[in-house]
Structures are given as structure tokens and as C-alpha cells.
A and B are shown apart, each in its own frame.
Chain A
Amino acid sequence: MKIAVSIKSVPDPEYYEKITIDPVSKRLVRDGIPAVINEADLHAIEEALRLKEACGGTITIVSMGPPAAIKQLKEALAMGCDEAYLISDRKVGGADTLATSYTLAKTLETIGNFDVVFTGSESADGATAHVPSQLGVWLKAAHATNVVHVSAEDGIVVTKQFENGRGRYRLSTPCVIGVTAKANEVRFTNVRDIMEVKNKKCVVLSAADLKDLDESRLGLPGSPSQNGEVEAIEANKECIMLEGSENEIAEKIAEILKQTAGKETL
């Protein structure tokens, strides 16, 4: 089985307090903030490793990002994936989710015919959860998001998490599966796998390497959505201690909720 995992390099959530927004470009200022593999993407990799263990095959990592993102690709290889491709080009910079998913889809089509493409259901920085579905549409493949379980015993069967329950779906291949961070427990990296990284294929592609590409769909010019006004919110939290019996406190909470309905603060 040919398996691919699309991953994203995001700022380490432990440093979120230090991230600022550039007032002109409206983009995150990531200087000095270490990058990590997006949390849900780690779970997508874990799901891919389990599928490979069950069915055999290879796992290819794809990602779009700056050259420094090669570090996260190598981390994915260290987890046991077989090869990695990074599409890195000024032409793809500033992309919204549609331009991103288009670029990733073209990268996947250029590299090979994949049976299953995993992604994280959403990224920790953008958190739009658009890309898995968009990838499915671009690749003309079945797709499912918010997936918490994947079984390959009788075809590809996924379990999707809804607000009020779960649903199981059988997907035809090729398919795109957006995995949530609740899907599994990510394994610890094995020293032997880390030492194999140097022998694995890790390629940086440019837009010129992609087949059948419509360049007008790339990067900022190819992005129908543009950032509007963005401002940092200064959080001023206040803790109010309520006293009294349980019933009295419950009444006080109800009163506060009534008073604050539609307001941002007390």
C-alpha cells in the first residue's frame, strides 16, 4: 500500500506567549520560536505507521514550507516513515488553505499514486481544518475528517467523531483521512530508526518540479482569502470568589450569566 502523510511545521505551542503578529503583513512573527510537527499530524503519522504495519507498503511524507521545515521532515523519517518531500519555493509563500491544498495535491500527484493520504485534522496555528477536505477534492478522492480510528481489516474503515457521537464509514481508495489528536497514542522514537534517517530520501522540490501546475493558483496571488485587520487582545482576567451555600452560589452564578449575556466582561 502506498501511504502518504501531509504534515505542517508549526510554532511550538510552548512558546505561544512569545508569538506576535506583524501589524503590516498580518502574519505571525515566528523569529526565535522553534518549529515542531503539528500535533494532529503526529497522530496522522502514527496512524500511517499502524496501517503500514497491518498492510505493508511505504510511507511518504509531504509538506509545504520554508527550507528550515526540512528538520520536521527528518523528525517524521525518524519516526519510521520511508521518504520525505518538502515543497519550498517563494512562489508558494503566503498561501491560504486553498492554495496550500492545491500545492500539496500537485505535489502528491507528481510523486506518485497514493492509496491513502493522512493529514492532521487541523493545524495548531491556523486551525481552519480546511486542508483535509480540500485535498480530497483536488485529488478527486474520498475523504473524511475528524477521524479518531482507522481500520484496514476489511477495506479502509474510519470512525469519525461528531459533537454528539461517532460514525463509521468505509472509504474507497484513494482516500484522504484527517486524523485528530485523540486518535491514538504516538509511539516513542526508536534509536535505530533515527540512525536510519541519513539513508532515507529527503527531497526539496520547487514549483518547477510539479507536474500540470496552474501557477495562478499558488501562494498569495492564488489565495482567495486575505487576512483582514488583526489585533492582539490583551487579556485582563479577574477572579471573583463567590461565597455562600451551594444553592446561593448557584443563584449568584445564574445572576452573573444574565448580567453578562452579550457582554465581553462583567
Chain B
Amino acid sequence: MWYMNEERELLRKSFREYTEKRIRPLARKLEAEEENSREALLEMGKLGMFTMPVPEAAGGTGPDYISWGLLLEELGKEGATFAFLALLRQVFNGPMQAACSKEQIEKYVKPAVNGEFLIGLAANEPAGGNNMFEYQTKAVRDGDDWIINGSKVLVTQASEVDVFLVLALTRDQIDFRTMEGIDIFFVPTSDPGFRAGHIEHKVGLNGSNTGSVYFDNIRVPESDRLPFPMALLMGFGPELSGYAAIALGGAEAMIAKTADYLKNRIQMGVSLWDAHESARHDLAKLQMEVYNYRNSLYGHLANRNCGIHDMLEAGALKASAGPLLEKVAGECMMLMGGTGVIRETGIEQYWRDAKALEIACFSDKTFTGNVAASL
């Protein structure tokens, strides 16, 4: 592969080993919601797996987005949930570089990058993800502090993170041009005023504990308010190409599993693989799509290593991640016949995860709208 080198080979080998030994047994339990992701995510942090695209000044190992892609691709081979949760670390760590003060980077970003605790984002409200102007969560100034009251919905890892980045309105009137009046605060979930509520039952990404959270008179110091909140909200974009790496890993795993099944499923003394050219070609067509997608993804990540962060490209990759995963899962289930629809076979989970991936971190409709606006 053109983007591989000695160091990345070593990284991929270690990611693969970690995924097979640690994540494989966990992924099934996570999907059945019999286990949570917290300990494994903290362990990954301690193993340096969230340091890769993070600048050294913020506790990282420098901006190698290709190695970051390799991590998500390998994790994606064992289902989308855990890979998605690992991706979220960078979705926060990336834009926090520009959004936080130096003190906040020392206090929150560095420990999070190195697995000392988990940071999450509590933004969404019933008013709608993109409709921040009608949010009900408020922060009111009280001396040197802020008092936060309100609630959030559809929060990922609602009951598993240590610190939430909480989006709250700090003015009665929001300035539509500058977005002044929308602020973001670090809120520790150990505060007695914090409560995690109902966990939703979703179509996919089960085990990511999506639910509601409540803030009741939580006092936070001014030093825990982000100085540049818009840098966080506008900075997610480039990180969303990580969804493509997850879908790539999932698609590769499903194609390999299906090829193996077809070669070993013997009927009348002949394998399905040898008996049906159409089955071989169906799978080969999927593999060709994977080749193209892989090149597109790693080309984009190579550009990011050169300092080119194309939001539209990242959005296009994110928007096609869910459909690719859904298509490959659907075709592989079909090729496997009855075996394909059995949960234990491990294909149908991707099919369900694909739909959840399409919608998480802005739906494909949003990205399509962005591209339309650029034309």
C-alpha cells in the first residue's frame, strides 16, 4: 500500500493484535449491552492510541492522520460500536486544540489523550441538533463562576464519561452572525448536580449508551469555559473522515468472512465459491469499491498530514461511510443465505450499525447540503 511505511506497519500490527485479543471478545458483549466500553477506552488511551493526530504540545505524538485511520480501520473490523467510540476521542481532541486555553489543554486535553479520563460532548436538545438558538440549557454568571441548569438528549456515553463538554446559552439573545451567547463548559460528571437518565434503545451502535443527561445547579469556574467555543463546533468536520475508516474496516472484514464462507460451504461436493461465478463476481465488485474507497480515504488523510484539511472531502467520506457499510452488509448477508441473517455470524450487526453511523455526528443530508452550497 502506497501509504504504508515501517512505522505504520508496526502500528497496524499492534492495532490488529489489540483488536483481536481485547476488542473481539468485548464487541459482542457491548452489542448485547452486557458490558461497557469505559475500561478498554481508558486502556487504549494509556497505550497511546489516542495520541496520533494530536500535536506534541497537547500530549500527542504528532499529526499522523494515516496512522489514526489505520487504528479505526482495524477496530472497525470487529464491529462499528467500539471503533465509533474510539473515533469520538479525536472528534473532541482535534478541535479542542483550537478551542481551549493553554490551562485547559493541560488540565483536560492532555489527561484525556493519555487515557486518564474520558471526555464526552453534551450538546443535543429536543429543539434539534442544528437549532442551538432554541436550546434550553442555560449558564448564568455568578461572581467568578457560572451556574448551569438544563438537560441534553441523545448524548453518547451518557453514563460513562468523566467530563462533559456542555453547550449552554449564556445570553437571552444569540448573535446569529458571531454566535455570541453560545458557550461550552467543562462539567465533571462527579458533580452532585449531574445525573444520567434514560438510555435509548437504538437500531445500531448498541453499547454506546446514548441517553439523556441532566444538570441541576452545577457551578463551574470561568476558567472551565472554552475561550473559543465556535472552534470546537466548527472544528469537528475534518475528524469525521474517521467514519470512513470504520466503514472500510467493517467492509473488509465482511468481504473476507463471506469469501471464507463461500469457499467452505460445500453442496453436492462443490463449494459455493467454485460453483457460482455470479457469487464470486458479486463479492469482487464489492472489493473493487473497497479499493477505491480505501484510496480515497488515505489520500484524504495524506493531505491532512500535509496540513490540508478539506471539510467537504471529509464530509463526502463521512456521508458515504454508512451507505458503503449498508451495501456490503446487505450483499454479504444475501450471499451467505440463511447463515447471513443469524446474529452470531456477525454480518447483520454492520447492517444495523450502518444506519446509526449515517446519522451520528450529523446526518448524510447535512453533508449533502454543504456540498450543494459549495457549488
Contacts and interface: CB of A to CB of B under 8 A. Distances in A.
Interface string B17-51: 11001100000000000000000000100111101
Contacts of A190: 46-48
B13 interface: yes
A191 B45 CA distance: 10
B7 A188 contact: no
Contacts of B10: 74-75, 78, 189, 194, 197
A189 B47 contact: yes
B7 A192 contact: no
A208 interface: no
A198 B64 CA distance: 15
Nearest to B43: A188
A254 interface: no
Contacts of A197: 6-7, 10
Interface in B334-375: none
B7 A191 contact: no
Nearest to B71: A191
B22 A191 contact: no
B51 A191 contact: yes
Interface string A176-218: 0000000000001111111101100000000000000000000
A198 B11 CA distance: 13
Q: Say which size band chain B's interface belongs to.
A: 10 to 19
A78 B6 contact: no
A74 B9 CA distance: 11
Main secondary structure of the interface of B (DSSP, over half): helix
Nearest to B9: A71
Contact of A195 (B18, B21, B22, B61): B61
Nearest to B114: A192
Given A188-B47, A189-B47, A194 B11 contact: yes
A190 B18 CA distance: 10
Q: Say which size band chain A's interface belongs to.
A: 10 to 19
A197 B9 CA distance: 12
B14 A78 contact: yes
A218 B221 CA distance: 72
A194 B51 contact: no
Nearest to B62: A195
B52 interface: yes
A199 B18 CA distance: 24
A189 B12 CA distance: 11
Contacts of A75: 10, 13
Contact of B17 (A74, A188, A192, A193): A188
A9 B185 CA distance: 52
Contact of A191 (B6, B17, B43, B52): B52
A61 to B, nearest CB: 14
B49 A191 contact: yes
A198 to B, nearest CB: 6
Nearest to A198: B7
Nearest to A189: B14
Nearest to A195: B61
A188 B22 contact: yes
A193 B10 CA distance: 10
B14 A188 contact: yes
Interface string A239-251: 0000000000000
Contacts of B22: 188
A78 B48 CA distance: 13
24 contacts: A74-B6, A74-B10, A188-B17, A188-B21, A189-B14, A189-B47, A190-B47, A191-B11, A191-B14, A191-B47, A191-B48, A191-B51, A191-B52, A191-B61, A192-B61, A193-B48, A194-B7, A194-B10, A195-B7, A195-B61, A197-B6, A197-B7, A198-B6, A198-B7
Given A78-B14, A189-B17, A198-B7, 14 more contacts: A75-B13, A78-B10, A188-B17, A188-B22, A188-B47, A189-B13, A190-B48, A191-B14, A191-B47, A191-B52, A191-B61, A192-B61, A194-B7, A195-B7
